[in-house]
Amino acid sequence: MHSINPFTDPINGIFLALNMTFSMFWEILWALILGFTLSGIVQAVISKGEMSRLLPDASPKSIAVACGLGAASSSCSYASVALARSIFRKGGNFTAAIAFQFASTNLVIELGIILAVLMGWQFTLAEFVGGLLMIAILVFIFKVFLKSKLVQAAKQQANRGLSGKMEGHANMNMSMTEGSIWQRIFSQQGFTAISHYFVMDWVSVWLDIALGLVIAGALAAWIPNEFWQAFFVTNHPIWSKLWGPIVGPIVAIFSFVCSVGNVPLAAVLWNGGISFGGVVAFIFADLIVLPILDIYRKYYGLKVSTFLFIAFYTAMVSAALIVEILFQVLGLIPQEHKAKVVEASIRFNYTTVLNILFLALAVLLVMRFFKTGGPNMLRMMDNDSQQEHSEHHHNMHYAIAKIRKSVRKLPI
């Protein structure tokens, strides 16, 4: 497919970009619904309330628990950052809280499913292997370079309670604690909790997903492969493998797209010639995009946020380089750069069938959400001031209690 210059042919350029955007959306729609449904199920049966107690230090056990809890949490980058600060403020270890934050955006189900659909199972495997490596490298960096004075400064700033984004989503806890896992999932209350997490997660990341798809469609339609090949120095095989992980996070920082929304962009970059490790580093970088860097400044202060940026970037690049070398040795890197970035063409195939089935599931979950007080909780998901945050926190717990009390009257 040839690119179109939007300045010389704006009508066809815009049409082609929208075609590409819709094509990628149609390709991943069922995977998004499946991923967010599974995420909602996990969140409905695992409580957030005990997280601070479970992460008292930076021991291997606490870091492993942080990774498990993070993988079971939401993929919304903003919510994970807010929840990590909440864990830290409630007595959790700072290093463990940051490990949780990275796990909750890089080790989650929905990200792996979308990567497999758009780019292939090798990228899903690389994301999970690289995510664990990145967390291990971060823990090492924190142990060697993070001084107690910095942690104390971070705690003092965190206790000021300045608002970031998606605070309400981070504090939301409708998880079940009674009965077996299957009883929790298939009970009326469990169905309601899953529906609320499903919708809340969509609300949290829809803008990032939409922005990622639009930017990816525009880049795929307007930027010729020759530009990407020159930018990623594909004519120098060794240098390109080093350059990809270095420049991947930098591209991500200025894209403003985080969470699962950066996967379509990663697909375009892969087709353009970025290295395998470069794709991995780009996806990791959802936690250092410009809006989130500003939230770190609010949460922990300028000095600590600067340290976090340097540590995060170093860990991302290092983990991606290791993944590049490891997968090259194992022969797992795809030889052809052919992610599913094509012009829109809806045909009656397995993708269409899956989309229809999962759209029906989404309708059921959304209907349940609206029947059980979901819109009221939705209005309390975010807040703009510390005073509002206290009132919001109380109102959300009241709303959840009210939903749990009234849901028994509803049929499944």
State mean pLDDT over 182-191.
79
**Residue 188 pLDDT > 60:** yes
Question: What does each C-alpha distance from 326 to 51, 191, 284, 320, 321 come to in angstroms?
Answer: 33, 42, 17, 10, 9
Which of 123-137, 188-202, 267-281, 287-301 is least confident? 188-202
Work out the number of other CB atoms within 10 angstroms of the CB of residue 393. 15
Task: Report pLDDT digits (tens) over 224-263.
Answer: 888 988 999 989 988 999 999 999 999 998 877 777 888 8
With cut-offs at 50, 70 and 90, classify the pLDDT of residue 412: very low
Question: What pLDDT, on the 0 to 100 scale, is given for residue 392?
Answer: 46
**Residue 297 pLDDT > 60:** yes
Among candidate residues 258, 32, 299, the one with its CA nearest the CA of residue 153: 299
Tokens representing 295 are 């939230």
State mean pLDDT over 376-380.
74
Task: Read off the amino acid at residue 249.
Answer: P
Separation CA 166–CA 376 (nearest Å): 15
**Residue 321 pLDDT > 90:** yes
388 against 137, higher pLDDT = 137
With cut-offs at 50, 70 and 90, classify the pLDDT of residue 207: confident
**Residue 59 pLDDT > 50:** yes
Work out the number of other CB atoms within 10 angstroms of the CB of residue 397. 13
With cut-offs at 50, 70 and 90, classify the pLDDT of residue 125: very high
**Euclidean distance between the first and the last CA atom of the chain, given in angstroms as a whole number:** 49
Question: What pLDDT, on the 0 to 100 scale, is given for residue 341?
Answer: 66
**Residue 394 pLDDT > 50:** no
Question: What pLDDT, on the 0 to 100 scale, is given for residue 48?
Answer: 58
50 against 369, higher pLDDT = 369
Task: Report pLDDT digits (tens) over 337-367.
Answer: 887 765 555 677 788 899 999 999 999 999 9
Tokens representing 90 are 């409630």
- pLDDT averaged over every residue in the chain: 84
Q: For 220, how many CA atoms within 13 A lie in the half-sphere containing its CB?
A: 31
Tokens representing 81 are 């950052």
Question: What does each C-alpha distance from 188 to 47, 192, 202, 253, 377 come to in angstroms?
Answer: 17, 6, 21, 42, 18
Domain ranges of the chain: 25-409
Q: Which residue has the tokens 């493998």?
A: 241
